[in-house]
Structures are given as C-alpha cells and as structure tokens.
Structure 1
Amino acid sequence: MARLVTQLLSKLFLLTTLLSIASSHPAAAVVSRLLLPRDPKDCTAPDANCTCQEWTFVSKDWTVANFAYRISVPVFDPEEAAREEPVPFASLVTFVVQNQALDYNAVCNATSTGGDQEDADASFDGRKWYDCVQDKPGEDGVTSFSYERAKDRLEVKQTWECLHEGYFYRYKATGGAEAKVVCAEAEWENPDWKEGQTYQLNITECQAKHRPIQVPWTEITGN
C-alpha cells in the first residue's frame, strides 16, 4: 500500500500544475508554465543526458530552422508576359520545428495559390492552420502552424508524449514569434520554349532574417 501511495503521489506531482504569470506591461503575453520539480536537472550541461520529461520541464521555446517563403509566378507564353493582366501565383512557406524534449523534428510546409500575383502575400493571412509531418514515423505527437505574411507572424502548437517511470505524460504547448524575412527576386526564361510549356518563371525567394528563429512557449499544459 505504501508503495502504491508513493507512486500515486509521484504521478500527481508531475501532472498538470500550472503557474500563470501576468506581466504588468499591458502588451505582454500571459505565460502558463508547468510547476518545476524542486531540483530541476541542468539539461544544458554537456553530460546531462536529459530525458523527454526533464527537457519538457526546463524548456521554454522551440527552435525553427530553415524558414523560407517563396512566391512563384509562371508565364506560359510571350503574349501573356506582355499583357498587364492578373497572373496566377503559387506561394510556399516551409521550415522545421525542433523541440529539445523530442528525438524527432516536425517538417512544416504549406502552399497557397490564387489568380492574381498581387494577392500572393495576403494568401497567408494567419487564419488557417496547417499540419506538419514528423521526420520519425510512429510518434504520437502533432505539430501545426499558422503564418501571417503581412505581419511576419508565425504561430505554432504542438502535442507530445513522454514516458516517465512507467507512465505516459502528454503535453501541449502553444507559442508564436516574429518571422521577418529578407527577399530577393529572380526571373527564369525558357530558351527552348514550345507552346504548352512554361515560358517564364518569376520567383520571389525569402529567407529568415534571423536564423534560427526562437519561438517561445506562451502556454504549456500536461496530463
């Protein structure tokens, strides 16, 4: 009985105990955090070898690597290139989300299309959420994101599981950060163009201004 009580107390201690910290600055976000153990492990030490559970308790953000944004505008014949009319476009955002608690990453990308290249940036307006794909099959976690190009705003939410002392603990974190980009334009023209092929491709290629991007957790819960 004593052993069972000890196990239950241990589980209760590690379950969802939230601290809500409201800053006095009116523009600051409210941050909800799990209550740390009394002596959290220093996972930054070279020989720390922290577990998923230990990293979850001490982590504060995600690392977003290889953030890129691209607009492609295809032109299918010389006459179309000369006309001042709306031209269809395809825009793409892609990046990788890294969580120190996990031994896998989330690969994120989304595409948007439209009938007028002038609307390309507005096609990512931050209202739609896109699912990412984990680079390690078989894991139960889910990662998704939204992106608002006009404000250079990236939002991320992620769920994951940690196995600790025979129990599975499930966590969910949300957060966001500014994702400013630096862009360059390029034009490709098909020297051997034939009817039905792409005659010209106008590309706007954007990379993150600050790499990698740290996306702080504004809330984390667990059960």
Structure 2
Amino acid sequence: MHPLLTTTTLAILLLPLLITSSPLKTTTCTSDSLNNFTWTLSNFSFNADYMFTTPAHQNSWGYTSFNLYNPVVFSNITCSAQSNQLNDFFYGTIPYTCSDNGSTKFTFNRPTGEIKINQSWTCDLDRQYPIVFSGSGGVNLTLECEESNWVNPNWTIGQTYSQRNVDCEQVGEVQIGLSELSAVS
C-alpha cells in the first residue's frame, strides 16, 4: 500500500472525530446577539472651545468622539459629533450618526456623562431569511476635565477677546450592555 494513500485515508477517517471533539466554541451571530451581548466603547474624548471675538460675540463648539466595537459582526466604527448648543453642547437630545452609513447612532449628555447607543446589524447565516437586530444601551461616563481661561488685556476690535478651553482625559475602554433588543426576520 502506498504511504501517502494510507495517511490520506487515516486523516479522512479521523476528520469526524477532530470536528466533534474540537475545543473551539462554535457560536452563531444570532446566538451571540441574544446571549450576553456587549459593545466595547473605547477612546472616548470630549473637549470644548469657548471663544469671544468681542465681549458680546461668542463662537463656541464642543466635540466628542469614540470607537465602538460590535463583537457579533466584528465591526469597529468611529463615532464623532460637534455642537454649538451652549453651554454644555451635548444634552442627550440629538442623535448623531456614526461612520457606518447610519446603522449606528448615539446621544451624549455632557452634564450627566450618559452616552446611549442605538445600532442595527444583520445576521445572515440563512441568506433567504436574514435576521436584523436592533439594540440599544447606555452607560454613564465619569469625565476628568481641565479648564483653561485667557482674556486679552489689550483687546481691540478684530482680535480675540477671550478664550476658554475644556479638555477631558480620554476614557479608555468601557463595556455597554443591551437595555433593549428587537429582531426582525
């Protein structure tokens, strides 16, 4: 008997044993969506610039950004927003769209630190009947911020009158669980 044929025959005979005794966890997109799903939010940042071009004219903006990872569909997206809604800029009332063409939105409430996520994803193991999940959840972030102020003591028209900056330390990594989940097939 040829040695290559014997090795091939042995491998084919052992294949069912290797598959059924595999220590690897086998899960599906659907089961992972339904069981202990959490997003990972990372690199959250917030900063704000309050600039007065005159004692009465303010031009101020707040900025926030973070990364969001969905482990079910292995999706890592960027979310960011800017606002000129004074004084804290973000009040949790406006949904902002992330970089995944609209399937993920978030709100941020600067006074409370609450961030809410709303995301849809598709599990299409059965391509004839894919399941679209829509989930939402939130978390309160504690931001550690520093503020700096500057006033131009010799201000004249055409110059900056004052500048106030708020810079918060970046929040590393936070888990966000689901508070609601729906599915449509």
Do the structures match in fold with TM over 0.5?
yes
1:174-193 equivalent positions in 2, closer than 5 A: 174-186=136-148
Determine if contact 1:179/1:208 at 8 Å carries over to the other structure: no
Determine if contact 1:71/1:120 at 8 Å carries over to the other structure: no
**Residues 106 and 197 from structure 1, CA distance in 2 versus in 1: closer, same or farther, beyond 3 angstroms?**
farther
Of 105-114 and 145-154, more deviation after overlay is shown by 105-114
Q: Which residue of 2 aligns with 1:213?
A: 174
Q: Which residue of 2 aligns with 1:120?
A: 87
**Residues 69 and 57 from structure 1, CA distance in 2 versus in 1: closer, same or farther, beyond 3 angstroms?**
same
Q: Which residue of 2 aligns with 1:70?
A: 47
Q: Equivalents in 2 of 1:141, 1:220: separation in Å?
A: 18
1:1-223 equivalent positions in 2, closer than 5 A: 47-48=24-25, 50-76=27-53, 80=54, 83=55, 85=56, 87-114=58-85, 119-121=86-88, 123-134=89-100, 142-166=103-127, 167-186=129-148, 201-208=163-170, 211-223=172-184
**Residues 113 and 60 from structure 1, CA distance in 2 versus in 1: closer, same or farther, beyond 3 angstroms?**
same
- Measured on the aligned residues, the alpha-carbon RMSD in Å equals 2.9
Determine if contact 1:59/1:100 at 8 Å carries over to the other structure: no
Residue 196 of structure 1, CA deviation: 5.9
For 2:46, the aligned partner's letter is: Y
Residue 109 of structure 1, CA deviation: 1.1
For 1:96, the aligned partner's letter is: N
Q: 1:73-123 deviations in whole A, cap 9, x for unaligned?
A: 2354xxx4xx4x463210011111111112222311111115xxxx321x3
Q: Equivalents in 2 of 1:72, 1:49: separation in Å?
A: 49
Unaligned runs of 5+ in 2: 1-22, 152-156
Q: Which has the larger radius of gyration?
A: 2
Aligned residue pairs total 156
